[in-house]
Chain A
Amino acid sequence: MDLWKFKTYTIKITIQNGEVNIVNDVYNGVSARAFDKSIGFASSNRLSDERLVIEKAKKLSKIKTGNEDYRFKHKPVEKYNNSKKEFPEYDIENIVNELKKLDKLFTPKLESRSLKLIINHTIRSYESDDSSITHDDIWGYFSSYGVARSGSVMESWSERKGWLGQGDIDINSFSGLVEKTGSKAVGLLSAEHAKKGKYTVVLDPDMTGVFTHEAVGHACEADAVINKSSVLNRLGEKVGNGLIKITDYSSYPDGFGNIMFDDEGVRSVPVVLINHGTLKNYMHNTYTAGMMNFNLTGNARMEDYDSPPIIRMRNTILEPANVKDTYSDDDIISNISKGIFLHGMNGGSVDPLTGSFMFGAKEAYMIEKGELKTHLRDVTMIGNIKETLHNIAAVGRHVNIGPGFCGKDGQLIRVSDGGPMIRVDDVIIG
């Protein structure tokens, strides 16, 4: 039996076209997981329902199909408690005033603009058999968004920053993001649409990150593999060019996905997924590690008390497999006679089973004779995971990571992803 108790304090402040909206909320919840013929999970937002959720979880775990075969990896006993068990006081009025100053930094040329600040503080408590883990999960997230218009053409841009831990929030440090949001949205109005077709493309670190996370990371989650829903289903297979290494780090400098323990009470460790182009490992929870007989990696995470723990990434980063086989960013561009440079992630999705994916870029530039030329908007790349991994033709030296929220099975969780600039040949642009 696993038992979770969460207490959460959140502040969400939005300033949209100068109008302020604030939501600050405190909520609790308790959930339980039982295993018998199958897995039963029950939750309630009333902490007093602890016995009820245990009873419901036990009842649901008796549902069977006749094909029962469940093995969970034994996990070491852990005792940990670093929680201060209280929520800090935030000076909301001061934060709002600082955000209002930021709002004035948007260019007046914007049709619409918004700033959003989220501060989240959750006391997460987990108990199972002899293990007992309680810790404070504190994070903040800032985003700015702008829409520019010229006649019937409207274009948008967004910037973001995420951080972990409590401390004074230096709102003034976001000023560069706000100014960039405005100037980029306005600049896109005069950009052109790309001609559809097959190109050599260069992904900036943001796009490298989204490809790494969405296309490779999700396909390396062991639940996708065990459920026959991943195209990366044979460890040891050469799935990509030998230039690359992809790791899901449990902790990384400035990583927004850093965790010490996962939500099954397992100490979180880094997992090398691909090295020199070869598929090396998967990310596991106690169920997949048990079924596949692998070591635990500490990747079981839950968004909130009412979401069962599932395999999630932390900080998923593409790096050069060998530093000697790398290029400067300038060299990557200058070696291309005709191509497209994709800058900034604008969402994406992937079918890990077939390996098909599509990602949008915030903006792009035509590369002609080694130089960035025509500014492009609404650019989408489409491809297949393995083909793209094999078509990586050059890897940059400088890794940059960015924060985000990953969605899976209706749960959002904080993560980071990133990498260096990379060149990929034969990519379909739509």
Chain B
Amino acid sequence: MIEKYEKILKEKMKKNQIQGYEIYYEETKSINIISKLNKIKRSEWDYDSGIGIRVIVDGHVGFSSGQRTEDAEKVIHNAISTSKFNPVINTFSFAPKSKPHNINYDSVDYDDEDGIISKLKEYIMTCLSVDGHIESYSSVSFGKHEIINSEGVNIVEDWDSEVSLSTVIKQGDMSVSESLSLPTFNDRFYDIPNIAKRNAEIKQNGKRMKFDGTVVLDSDALYSLLSFYLSSFTGIRRHYKTVKYDVGDYVACDRLTVIDDPLNIQGTERSRHDMEGVPSEKREIVKNGMLRMFAYNREYAALDNVNINEYQGFCARSSYSNKPTIGFSNIIIPSGNDKIDELDNVAIIRSVFGLHTANPISGRFGLPIDNGYVLRNGEKIGLKDVMLSGNIFEGFNNVVAIGNKQDVNGPYIVPWLAIDGWTIL
């Protein structure tokens, strides 16, 4: 498939109909099992593959995608014919040839479908064995890709895996959800349903209450709030002027550092290069509270007139059929020295929902608390029907303690944070 696309694109280069090209080929496969109440409801298998191409035509960048070899002429024609509508980016070029880092990691065996189904069923059966089970979802997803461009990049990345389990457990009339994602199978998955059950019991015995003291985000709650916080610091937001901060501004307290590290193999967003072939690198996005950089891919770096070679490396793709965008990889917050789990008279928040309703520009939010409790004199008082209200940027500036150990879930490797200035009502 790739060969046919490359042959046509090379011919167009020779005729100077295009001045550069990039081919991104992707295959994905996923297997998942879903259980409801006391039984397995549905199991799913999905395969997808296709190509996304970018071309440079007189300074314009065009994009199109296809799924079949026989569509190559049409897909390339689409990319060229629609490029003229896109802006001229004179300083843009595709990623130069380079040597990616040689990191090694384990992955689930792609071909062992029976073994995968057996393991996923094991996780689900553990969830089903817990009283109050409402629903669970276990999955393994795989991805592999190739990137070829006219500058000499030729990358083949073999299958990598991500294993996920989420469960909802109900006690009385209260339920909580717990979830975990890791690159491979892990015994931690067996703990998830019991953690959910314990928290549902706390919530069931809890009450609606107002709280104005220190709020502790455990690593689970921090994941979702971090993704919202970091979305402000992409080159897309900066280019389109929908963020009020700039490099050098203080966006967190001076003890807090936020790192993007695709080379960390514990996180699910590990990779030797980004999705346009730029070698992976560990970067400090926020250092000691100060915004050090915005994340860019090469196209937005050129559009925004920043140094491409300095800021590139954050190219992400949701699929071969979507134009490349900007995204973070594994997000790491270095642990502090504080024993947060020994604090008293604090609210511990494990999960919130409705983050899409928060104001991404001002940072103000009011989010229902799905899973949390107030710790008072050592007693856990569950929180029911309450909302966490505040401002994300002000909150990260008011971090009063950073936990002394990190948890890993998905692409996040972070400690607990204690924050002042937010309200529970």
Bound form: Cα–Cα A45–B71 in Å? 14
Bound form: Cα–Cα A306–B49 in Å? 13
B46 near A42 with CB under 8 A, answer yes
Q: How many positions in chain B have a CB within 8 Å of any CB in the partner chain?
A: 66
A349 near B356 with CB under 8 A, answer yes
Bound form: Cα–Cα A56–B342 in Å? 51
B38, B47, B364: the one within 8 Å of A44 (CB): B47
Q: What are the interface flags for A323-365 relative to B under an 8 Å C-beta threshold, 1 for contact and 0 otherwise?
A: 0000000000000000000000011110101101111100000
Q: Which residues of A contact B117 (CB under 8 A)?
A: 60, 63
Bound form: Cα–Cα A354–B321 in Å? 38
Nearest CB in chain B: distance from A93 CB, A: 8
Whether a CB of chain A sits under 8 angstroms from the CB of B157 is no
B368 near A357 with CB under 8 A, answer yes
Whether a CB of chain B sits under 8 angstroms from the CB of A384 is yes
Q: How many positions in chain A have a CB within 8 Å of any CB in the partner chain?
A: 71
Whether a CB of chain A sits under 8 angstroms from the CB of B323 is yes
Nearest CB in chain A: distance from B121 CB, A: 6
A27 near B50 with CB under 8 A, answer yes
Whether a CB of chain B sits under 8 angstroms from the CB of A247 is no
Q: Which residues of A contact B71 (CB under 8 A)?
A: 26
B39 near A22 with CB under 8 A, answer no
B165-206 at interface with A (beta carbon < 8 Å): 168, 170, 173-175
A69 near B39 with CB under 8 A, answer yes
Q: Which residues of A contact B366 (CB under 8 A)?
A: 358, 360, 380, 382, 430
Q: What are the interface flags for B64-76 relative to A under an 8 Å C-beta threshold, 1 for contact and 0 otherwise?
A: 1111000100000
Bound form: Cα–Cα A337–B40 in Å? 54
Q: Which residues of B contact A21 (CB under 8 A)?
A: 85-86, 323
Q: What are the interface flags for A107-119 relative to B under an 8 Å C-beta threshold, 1 for contact and 0 otherwise?
A: 0000110100000
Contacts A16-B240, A46-B67, A358-B387 given; does A347 touch B354 at CB 8 Å: yes
Nearest CB in chain B: distance from A365 CB, A: 18
A38 near B389 with CB under 8 A, answer no
B47 near A154 with CB under 8 A, answer no
Contacts A46-B67, A111-B242, A430-B366 given; does A38 touch B46 at CB 8 Å: no
Whether a CB of chain A sits under 8 angstroms from the CB of B14 is no
Q: Which residues of B contact A61 (CB under 8 A)?
A: 43
Q: Which residues of B contact A46 (CB under 8 A)?
A: 47, 49, 67
Whether a CB of chain A sits under 8 angstroms from the CB of B37 is yes
Bound form: Cα–Cα A27–B44 in Å? 21
Contacts A25-B64, A356-B385 given; does A228 touch B134 at CB 8 Å: yes
Whether a CB of chain A sits under 8 angstroms from the CB of B36 is yes
Closest residue of A by beta carbon distance from B36: A227
Q: What are the interface flags for A372-397 relative to B under an 8 Å C-beta threshold, 1 for contact and 0 otherwise?
A: 00000010101010000000000000
Nearest CB in chain A: distance from B86 CB, A: 6
B219-244 at interface with A (beta carbon < 8 Å): 239-242, 244
A111 near B241 with CB under 8 A, answer yes
Q: Which residues of B contact A256 (CB under 8 A)?
A: none
B45 near A65 with CB under 8 A, answer no
Q: Which residues of B contact A25 (CB under 8 A)?
A: 64-65, 321
Whether a CB of chain A sits under 8 angstroms from the CB of B87 is yes
A147 near B353 with CB under 8 A, answer no
Bound form: Cα–Cα A156–B39 in Å? 46
Q: Which residues of A contact B45 (CB under 8 A)?
A: 40-43, 53, 56-57, 60
Bound form: Cα–Cα A1–B106 in Å? 37
Whether a CB of chain A sits under 8 angstroms from the CB of B135 is yes
Whether a CB of chain B sits under 8 angstroms from the CB of A254 is no
Whether a CB of chain B sits under 8 angstroms from the CB of A155 is yes
Whether a CB of chain A sits under 8 angstroms from the CB of B16 is no
A19, A354, A430: the one within 8 Å of B173 (CB): A354
Q: Which residues of A contact B328 (CB under 8 A)?
A: none
Nearest CB in chain A: distance from B392 CB, A: 13
Q: Which residues of A contact B128 (CB under 8 A)?
A: 65
List 8 tightest A-B contacts by C-beta distance, closest first.
A349-B354, A380-B366, A60-B43, A347-B357, A430-B366, A154-B361, A20-B85, A67-B39
**10 residue pairs from A and B, CB less than 8 Å apart:** A24-B82, A25-B65, A25-B321, A41-B43, A45-B67, A112-B241, A147-B361, A353-B173, A354-B384, A356-B385
